[in-house]
Amino acid sequence: LGRPFARLAFAAMVGTAIVKNSPADGYTLLHGSTSSLAANPSLYRQITYDPDEFTTVAIDGTIPGFMLVAKDAPYNSVKEFVAWAKARKEPIFSGYGNTSSRVPSALFDVQSGVRLEEVAYKDAVPAIQDLIGGRIHVTFPDLVIGESYVRSGQVKALAVTSPQRTPQFPELEAMAETYPGFEVVAFLSFTVRKEVPVEIQRKLNGWVMEILHLPEVHKRLLEIGMTPPPRDWDVARSDAF
């Protein structure tokens, strides 16, 4: 970024605090995320920063979740799952491994009226393995983690949690098609201290957006489950997101 090496902070709370206390010169960037900029203030009694102390100059991309069920489950859509669940007398177990898989499960519980019994795992992979093994009924991992299981046929995807269908799985319905307003996506971002001069923020945005939309980069991001924002997402649109 104009020097041999830019200083990058990748951790969540620790990294965010480093950026908060760094010079406001545009050379220390937070690779921000759903955790550091959205979830942490609600999850911890005390954190050492306020997300409003930062400006997100560009979004790398958004990552929706899957609604996954067993490959031989007797339902093939969200509506069919809900009908099956409401007719069932026994508990329905939903496994989660982190915030990004727990939130869509909880939101689905509220919007569908299906009571889900939550089962906590260390991460999303053991939850998917227990889904395959028949020990839980549904889980909501993100695309990055769940894609290989879906494409290999080990599990069945009923929907994605983004507001629209994804380029990676255009045949899968978005949950919002059944429950309007349903949207749970993770994200990654390039974020700086709010005091960084506006002209530097704009320059950073221009560089990031140009790179994200290079054909080979754009293609690779889609391959790993991330959807880059439109080319015209400037600093104001990125920060508002």
Closest CA relative to residue 144, chosen from 170, 169, 163, 121: 169
pLDDT at 97: 83
* pLDDT at residue 8 is higher than 50: no
In this prediction, residues 35-58 reach a mean pLDDT of 88
Tell me 114's DSSP state: -
pLDDT at 6: 45
pLDDT tens string 82-98: 999 999 999 999 999 87
**Residues linked to residue 96 through DSSP beta bridges, in sequence order:** 120
pLDDT band at 178 (very low <50, low <70, confident <90, very high): very high
Strand order in the sheet with 173-174: 117-120, 93-96, 138-139, 66-70, 155-160, 173-174
End-to-end CA distance of the chain: 24
User: What percent of the chain is predicted at pLDDT more than 70?
Assistant: 95
Alpha helices in 36-88, H assignment, sequence order: 40-43, 78-87
pLDDT at 2: 43
pLDDT at 239: 96
Strand order in the sheet with 28-33: 7-9, 28-33, 185-193, 54-64
* pLDDT at residue 12 is higher than 50: yes
pLDDT tens string 126-135: 999 999 999 9
Write the secondary structure of 144-156 as one string of H (helix), E (strand) and C (coil).
Answer: HHHHHHHHCCCEE
Average pLDDT, the chain: 91
pLDDT at 143: 93
Cα separation, 57 vs 239, in Å, equals 6
In this prediction, residues 174-192 reach a mean pLDDT of 95
